[in-house]
Amino acid sequence: MSTFDTLLDDLRRDFLRVQPKDSLQYCARWFQDRLEEQRTRIRDALVQTTLPPELPAHFFIDQSSSNYPSFSSSTRSSAPTVHSPFGTLNVPGNARLPQGPTISFNFDGQSPFNPASSAPEFSPTDFLAPPQSALGRRTSVSAESIEVTEHSDTVIPFEPKTPEQTARIKAAITNNFIFRELNEEQELRVIGAMSETRVAPNEVVIKQGDDGDYFYVVESGLFYVYVRPTDSPALPAPFNQANGTGAQPPASWNWTAADSVLHPLHGKKVTEVKDGDYFGELALMYNQVRAATVMCIEPATLWKIDRVTFRTIVLGSRHRIRETYKKFLAEVPLLSALNHEDRGKIADALQPREYADGEAVVVEGEKGESMFFIESGEAVATKRMPNEQGEVTEIIVGRHKTGDYFGELSLLHVKPRAATVRAIVRTDPVLQPKLKVAVLGVAAFTRLLGSLRDIMERNARNYSGMRQG
């Protein structure tokens, strides 16, 4: 096995043992630690084999410059600089790193190991060490840490809205990637927490370079979005000290909204925001400076929500769902062999889904991509089979109730669905709950339920092949 394969095997072993949340950060740190260990071993080996033990301590430290008269720096300055995220030490095993320039010293006939020789002065800045930015990931953005518990006392704001206003806000955010995965409860709470804000013409709602905390939905009005290059020249004196909010360009500049391709303060106009549009959505995910300036052109009404409120709603809802799933999974016979932590991982991967009466959950012959656990309600499994007259009809082969699961065989055997599963048609919708399932995707199924494969295979044989897959 090659050194490269061995390295990957070691990384895979450590990764599976730790199971980090941030895979990229863990791998980068893992390679960084390995490189530091390699540097230490090589440095120790060189010290033991090339330098006598009586040398002063400063000879064991890399130096970036020298006070000796004939230090050769021309090669260093002429060679192209290549940056590596893990440093540029050329040692055995780092064959793919670019070969850097060599540094030569001329000691004018004097031995550097002669104690009588005058040694140069060293300072901490002379030590060769890769910059911190070279060893880490690029500067990241972050958000506040929000603690969510069963008994959280965080008060979520609520502002009443008309059905028309709620519908307009919902229509505006439906296709936004941040809101797309919200369930109905989360979406309604987010909309309810939005507060109304009225904006006057020429008022700046968000300014490029400022910290972003709010997301906005336009109820009415018109806004222009401007972007100013970061390397643009300094502003004229009247605007150097302006904060931009409600600021008017000097009359000498003759700026009007009708001639708004280039704003003297905010830069170039890139787009417009009108009724039903939104802006500032990245502020809901993390604390990052605004990438553009948004200025009101016509009297406007906005609905806004801040990042902390949004994340508290989403995280609180997910926490409740997770705890509910953990309790539910503890009652599923298949998962009784798993410990509390493993069931928690499955709970994190589950997605809720509801089905109307008679609606198909899986269809016979289709490719299987999910496994299902029934939270509430009932489902019936049918197969297309020929009757005595040779006609193909659907035959009921099984029924599923709360705590049952189905869909696993298609994932185990990588085969099409062996049966169709539908929600039952309820005779009493008041007393009988709708079919609600928890969905586990194929990737999570393979990762989390691999240890239960034998149990699922045995259960399948007990049904004599009549269960659907």
Binding residues are 281, 290, 408, 417
Rounded to an integer, what distance in angstroms lies between the CA atom of residue 359 and that of residue 256? 57
Residues facing 196 on adjacent strands? 303
A 10 A CB-CB count for 452 gives 17
Q: Where are the alpha helices (DSSP H) in 85-194?
A: 132-135, 163-173, 184-193
Residue pair 204/293 in contact (Cβ under 8 Å)? The answer is yes
Q: What amino acid occupies position 371?
A: M
3-class state of residue 370 by DSSP: strand
Residue pair 446/414 in contact (Cβ under 8 Å)? The answer is no
Rounded to an integer, what distance in angstroms lies between the CA atom of residue 167 and that of residue 182? 16
3-class state of residue 26 by DSSP: helix
Which of 191, 150, 144 minimizes the C-alpha distance to 321? 150
Q: At what angle do helices 184-193 and 307-330 cross, to 10 degrees?
A: 160
3-class state of residue 316 by DSSP: helix
Q: Phi first, then psi: what are they for 368, rounded to 5°?
A: -90, 130
* Token pair in block for residue 348: 């994190």
Q: Phi first, then psi: what are they for 449, rounded to 5°?
A: -115, 15
Q: What amino acid occupies position 28?
A: A
Which of 459, 376, 361, 377 minimizes the C-alpha distance to 419? 361
* Token pair in block for residue 223: 């806004």
Annotated binding residues for 3',5'-cyclic AMP: 281, 290, 408, 417
